[in-house]
Structure 1
Amino acid sequence: MDRTAGKNVSCCAIQCHSPGWRRCGILIVAMLCTACTLLFASEARAQCTARDVLQNQLRLKKAPSADRPQIPIKSAVDVPVWKTITIGTFANFFALSNAMDAVGCGIGNSAGEILARPTFTLRDTKTSVKLFAVSAAELGFKTDTASLADIYARAKQLGFGLAAAEVGPQLRLQYFDQPIGEFLIIGMEPIRTWKGAPVILNVANGGAGLILIGQDGSADAQISVVSRFVFVRTNEGAPAEEQEAVALVGR
C-alpha cells in the first residue's frame, strides 16, 4: 500500500466472489476504506504539525536562514533563485482554505481575514513563480529598523518586484521543510481587513507548527532589518498595478 499523501492508492480494491460472504465483504470493504481515509488524512495533516516539523529539522539539519551573513547586494540579477513555486492551482478561496486545513497548516486571524476578502485573488492558470529571499540589511539598510515603504522602494530600485498575494498561502503549502525560527515576509501589496487595516502575509515556523500569519502592512510600519522578505524580479512580478511599491503601501 502506498502511504504517500496525495497519491492514488487501492485501499478499497477487495471483491467478494461468494454470495454467502457478500454482506460480510461489504462490511470489510467499508471498514478498510474508513481506515485508509483516516490514515491518509492523518499523514497529510502531519505535514504542518510541530512533531513533523521537528522530525524534518532533525532529518534535514537545516539552520535558520537568519544565521547567514548579511552582505549587501548590488542588483537583483546577482541574487540566485531561492525557491520556485506554482500558483494558479486553486479555483477559489474555499479550495485553498481546505488545502491548508488538510495538511494542518495554521492561519492567523488577520491572514485568514484578508484571504477571504474580495481583493485577494487567485490566478486562473497554473504558473511557475521564481522567488528571491533577501533581508532588509541585504538591501542596504544599516539601521536597526526601516519602514515598509522604504524597504519596498529600495527593493524596487534594485530590480525586485512585489509578489502576488497568492504567493503567501501557496508558499506555505509548498514549503514544509521551513527551518524552525524562520519568518518570511511576503513582499506584496497590502490587503485591507474589513476594518480597513492594511495587512501583508508572513510564512512562519515559530516551532509550534507551520503557519501563515498577517502583519502590519502600513507604509510607516517599522521592520527589523534582519527580517527576510520574499520578492520576485521586476519582470516576473505581480500585475503592473501591484508593482508601484511606494504608492501601494500608502493606500
Structure 2
Amino acid sequence: MDRITGKESGYHAIPHRSMRRRSGGAFIAMLCSACIVLFASEASAQCSARAVLQNRLTLKIAPSDAPPAPVTSAFAAPVWRTITVGTFANSFALLSALDAAGCGIGSVAEEILARPAFNVGTTKTSVELFAVSAAELGFQTDTARLADVYARARQLGFGLAAAEVAPQLRLQYFDQPMGEFLIAMEPIRTWKGDPVILAVANGGAGLVLIGQDGSADAEIPVASRFLFVRSNEAALAKAVRGGDEAATLGRR
C-alpha cells in the first residue's frame, strides 16, 4: 500500500512539477521578450543625437583645433580607425542593421546600397582607414575637383575604399563628432545614371549615411575629409620598410 501510495504520490507530483516548469518557462519567455524589447530600444538609440553626445562624454573626446599637417606619403600617415567588413550576407542585411540602430539613411544612399554595383565582402576582413583632407593633400584653393583629389591621393600611395566601408563605418562609429567624412570610393551610379559617393555624417540631429555628388568635376571644399585605404603598393612598401628596420635593429 505504501508502495502504491508512493507511486500515486509520485505520479500526482509529476503534473504539479510540470505546471511549475511551464510557469517557469512562461516567466523566462516573458523575461526574454522584455530583454529583446530593451535591446531593440537601446540599439535603435545608438545613432540618436542623445546617444552620440553620451558616447562622446563617456569617452571624453575633446575637439581638436590643430591646423592640418601636410601628408607626404600613405605609408607615413597614421591609421585613423580600423573597421571590419564582410560581416553581412548582402546589402539588405546591411540596411536592416542600419535601420535597427536607428541610423538615418538618405534616399540616394539607400538607392546606392540597392544597386547591383554595390557589393559586400564574403570574408570577414579588417580595413585600416586614413582620414585625409584635400588641404592636407596640398590643395590651397577653397575647393578642389574630386578627380584631382583622387589623383593626388593615388600619387601619395592611397587607394579608394570599397563602397561597403561606408555603411560598415556608420555601424561602427557611434561617437562621431559634428561634421562628415566622405568615403573615397569609386562612384556608383543611381538608376538615373548620376555618379554618387557615400558619406557618414553627424548633422546634430543624429548619425546618418548619405549620398554625395561623385562626378569627376564635383567641387569639394578643401576642409572636407576623405577616408582612404592604402594602395597595395604603399602597403607593400611599408611592410618592406618595416622588415628592413627590424633587420637593422637585429644587427645592432
For normalisation by structure 2, the TM-score amounts to 0.82
C-alpha distance in structure 2 between counterparts of 1:227 and 1:51, whole Å: 25
Give the CA deviation at 1:27. Answer: 3.8
Pair 1:101 & 2:99 matched = yes
- What is the match of residue 208 of structure 1? 205
**Displacement over 6 Å in runs of 4+:** none
Report the CA distance shift for 1:127/1:22 in structure 2 as closer, same or farther (over 3 A). Answer: closer
C-alpha distance in structure 2 between counterparts of 1:130 and 1:26, whole Å: 46
* 2:109–2:198 Cα contact (<8 Å) kept: yes
* 1:186–1:202 Cα contact (<8 Å) kept: yes
C-alpha distance in structure 2 between counterparts of 1:220 and 1:102, whole Å: 36
In proportion to residue count, which structure has more helix?
A: 2
- What is the match of residue 85 of structure 1? 83
* 1:81–1:130 Cα contact (<8 Å) kept: yes
Give the CA deviation at 1:147. Answer: 0.6
- What is the match of residue 35 of structure 1? 34
- What is the match of residue 241 of structure 1? none
| Equivalence map 1:92-241=2 (5 Å) | 92-179=90-177, 181-235=178-232
- What is the match of residue 243 of structure 2? none
- What is the match of residue 59 of structure 1? 58
Structure 1 unaligned segments of length 5 or more: list them: 1-15, 238-251
Sequence identity (%) = 71
C-alpha distance in structure 1 between counterparts of 2:147 and 2:101, whole Å: 34
* 1:129–1:236 Cα contact (<8 Å) kept: no
C-alpha distance in structure 1 between counterparts of 2:100 and 2:233, whole Å: 30
- What is the match of residue 12 of structure 1? none
Structure 2 unaligned segments of length 5 or more: list them: 1-14, 235-252
Structure (1 or 2) with the larger CA radius of gyration:
2
Post-superposition Cα deviations, 1:121-159, rounded to whole Å, max 9, x if no partner, equal: 011111111110010000000000001011001111111
For normalisation by structure 1, the TM-score amounts to 0.82
Give the aligned CA root-mean-square deviation in angstroms.
Answer: 1.9
SS in 1 for 2:115: coil
SS in 1 for 2:118: coil
Give the CA deviation at 1:50. Answer: 1.2
* 1:64–1:182 Cα contact (<8 Å) kept: no
C-alpha distance in structure 1 between counterparts of 2:125 and 2:22, whole Å: 49
Query: How many residues were matched structurally?
Result: 220
Report the CA distance shift for 1:74/1:22 in structure 2 as closer, same or farther (over 3 A). Answer: closer
